[in-house]
């Protein structure tokens, strides 16, 4: 199997721009010191790579392309991909991964899942189930709700047998949101594999900040420190308890879970997120949540706990630390945590701006003993490890 990767960087998207005159298209803006395109190309190192660009960007492309084949795109996304597919003809390519340059953080794991799925499917693409409620809206008002069951968010790379997707593109006319649409129009079956929250598409200015934080963390942790460079490792723990009260749901580690009780608290009472926030403050020797967000202050009434966790993570970053691991244990008989653990890890990782494999959420019961055993409340404990190397800089 010879696999090629097509990196599509021909668009002229402007939603990511901040309004500065002369701003580059988003795929050429710098992210952690390198153009977004360069990150996307690096993710597919080892495969035969094709970079599809806007004809105006030929000079920029030369600076990042390396051994990738550079192809000028067309007027639409579909036309750009087709140009790249045509350029691959006669090169002995058997399958192709088509990836948006605006997703620079795609992991080797996601790429591997798509390639693996192609062994048994005509097409494969990463996707994430929609977990947020969906609304319709008009003029700033909510006008209705939509059922989210069976809805997925599409990601890239989208993989196909080379001959099949080339034929599909040749037969396709008009605009397509992505290559799965083109493939399906040609009757190909496309299987979904698990995507990742960190495989985000840079669309708005805030997306760049999130991506920058995450890449800085990964870079600092992988970079070999100078010989004998001092390493500053901090560990903190946190513990929290909230009592049950009447209600129909609880918030745990950023996930809303239907339950026959609620948790009592000044904020949203997310006991897991409070313990983790305190663990980070603890590692920094910076007190606890109550000091930074006094319960006596009415502005924190009903507050989302993500505000607290984001503050602690940002404080660590501003001191030059990266979060290398976080581990939360929830102690309760009910609700069952297991089915929600993956969503909880993703939510915490997103808020803290770190990769999800650095974040653990697990649960235990107390064997029906004590206040958690009697289902009077939920307890949570957490550990956070922060690291600063001499080469690390404050963000
Ligand atoms: Mg609390």
**Chain centre to alpha carbon of residue 295:** 32
Cα 198 to ligand 1 centre (Å) = 28
Q: 303: CA distance to ligand 1 center in Å?
A: 12
User: Taking 90 as the threshold, does the pLDDT of residue 223 lie above it?
Assistant: no
Half-sphere exposure for 249 (CA within 13 Å, toward CB): 8
- Distance between CA atoms of residues 183 and 46, nearest Å: 25
pLDDT of the residue at 394: 42
pLDDT of residue 159: 98
Cα–Cα distance measured from residue 361 to residue 350, given in angstroms and rounded to the nearest whole number:
14
Residue 15: the pLDDT is 58
What confidence tens digit (pLDDT) does each residue in 375-390 have?
Answer: 999 999 999 999 987 6
Distance 380 CA to ligand 1 centre (A): 9
The residues of the chain that CATH labels 3.90.550.10 are 3-213
Is the Cβ–Cβ distance between 175 and 82 less than 8 Å?
no
Query: Does domain 229-389 correspond to CATH entry 1.10.540.10?
Result: no
- Separation of 288 CA from ligand 1 center, angstroms? 10
Q: Which residues contact 206 (CB under 8 A, 6 or more apart)?
A: none
Q: 132 CA to middle of ligand 1, Å?
A: 24
> Residue 324 C-alpha to ligand 1 middle, in angstroms?
24
How many whole angstroms from 336 Cα to the centroid of ligand 1? Answer: 20
The set of residues, in sequence order, having a beta carbon less than 8 Å from that of 153 and lying 6+ positions away, is: 127, 128, 129, 130, 195
Does pLDDT of 131 surpass 90? no
Q: Please tell me the predicted confidence (pLDDT) of residue 303.
A: 86
Q: What is the mean pLDDT of residues 167-182?
A: 94
Tell me the two tokens of residue 20.
């500065």
Query: What separation in Å is there between the alpha carbon of 269 and the centre of ligand 1?
Result: 6
| Of 17-21, 72-76, 230-234, 264-268, the least confident | 17-21
Query: Residue 197 C-alpha to ligand 1 middle, in angstroms?
Result: 27
β-bridge mates for residue 193, sequence order:
126
Residue 239 alpha carbon to ligand 1 centre in Å: 9
Ligand 1 centroid from CA 229, angstroms: 38
Q: How much of the chain exceeds pLDDT 90, in percent?
A: 77
Task: Name the nearest CA neighbour of 165 among 154, 179, 175.
Answer: 179
User: How confident is residue 25, by pLDDT bands cut at 50, 70 and 90?
Assistant: confident
CA pair distance 96, 99, nearest whole angstrom? 10
Give me the chain's average pLDDT, please. Answer: 91
Instruction: Kindly indicate the confidence band of residue 19, based on its pLDDT and cuts at 50, 70 and 90.
Output: low
Q: How does residue 220 score in pLDDT terms, banded at 50, 70 and 90?
A: confident
- The string of pLDDT tens digits covering residues 298-329 is 888 888 999 999 999 999 999 989 999 999 99
Using the predicted structure, report yes or no on whether residue 13 has a pLDDT greater than 70: no
> Is residue 311 within 8 Å of 278, Cβ to Cβ?
no
CA of 376 to the centre of ligand 1 (A): 15
- What is the pLDDT, as a whole number, of residue 32? 84
271 alpha carbon – ligand 1 mean position (Å): 5
CATH of 3-213, one of 3.90.550.10, 3.10.20.30, 3.60.20.10, 3.30.750.24: 3.90.550.10
pLDDT of residue 118: 96
The whole-model pTM stands at 0.69
Least confident among 5-9, 195-199, 326-330 = 195-199
Q: Which residues surround ligand 1, an ion (CB under 5 A)?
A: 240, 274
Domain with CATH 3.30.1330.50 in the chain: 229-389
């Amino acid at each position: 199997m010879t696999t090629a990767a097509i990196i599509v960087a021909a668009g002229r998207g402007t939603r990511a721009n901040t309004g500065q005159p002369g701003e580059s298209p988003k795929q050429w803006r710098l992210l952690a010191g390198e153009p977004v395109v360069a990150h996307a190309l690096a993710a597919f190192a080892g495969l035969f790579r094709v970079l599809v660009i806007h004809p105006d960007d030929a000079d920029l492309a030369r600076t990042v392309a390396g051994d990738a084949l550079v192809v000028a795109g067309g007027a639409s996304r579909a036309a750009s991909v087709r140009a790249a597919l045509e350029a691959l003809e006669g090169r002995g390519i058997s399958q192709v991964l088509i990836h948006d340059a605006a997703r620079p953080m795609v992991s080797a794991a996601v790429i591997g899942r798509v390639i693996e799925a192609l062994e048994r499917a005509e097409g494969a693409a990463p996707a994430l189930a929609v977990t947020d409620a969906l609304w319709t809206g008009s003029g700033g008002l909510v006008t209705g709700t939509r059922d989210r069951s069976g809805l997925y968010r599409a990601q890239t790379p989208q993989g196909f047998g080379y001959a099949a997707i080339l034929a599909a593109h040749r037969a396709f006319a008009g605009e397509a949101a992505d290559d799965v649409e083109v493939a399906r129009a040609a009757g190909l079956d496309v299987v979904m594999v698990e995507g990742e929250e960190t495989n985000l598409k840079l669309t708005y200015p805030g997306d760049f900040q999130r991506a920058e934080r995450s890449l800085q963390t990964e870079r600092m942790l992988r970079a070999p420190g100078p010989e004998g460079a001092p390493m500053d490792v901090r560990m903190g723990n946190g513990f929290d308890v909230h009592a049950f009260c009447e209600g129909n749901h609880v918030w745990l580690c950023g996930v809303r879970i239907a339950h026959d009780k609620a948790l009592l608290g000044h904020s949203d009472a997310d006991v897991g997120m409070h313990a983790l926030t305190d663990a980070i403050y603890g590692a920094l020797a910076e007190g606890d949540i109550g000091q930074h967000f006094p319960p006596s202050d009415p502005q924190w009434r009903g507050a989302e706990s993500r505000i607290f966790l984001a503050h602690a993570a940002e404080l660590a970053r501003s001191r030059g630390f990266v979060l290398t691991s976080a581990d939360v244990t929830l102690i309760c008989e009910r609700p069952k945590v297991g089915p929600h653990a993956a969503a909880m890890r993703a939510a915490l990782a997103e808020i803290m701006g770190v990769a999800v494999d650095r974040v653990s959420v697990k649960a235990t019961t107390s064997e029906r003993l004590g206040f958690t055993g009697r289902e009077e409340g939920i307890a949570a404990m957490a550990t956070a490890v922060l690291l600063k190397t001499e080469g690390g800089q404050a963000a």
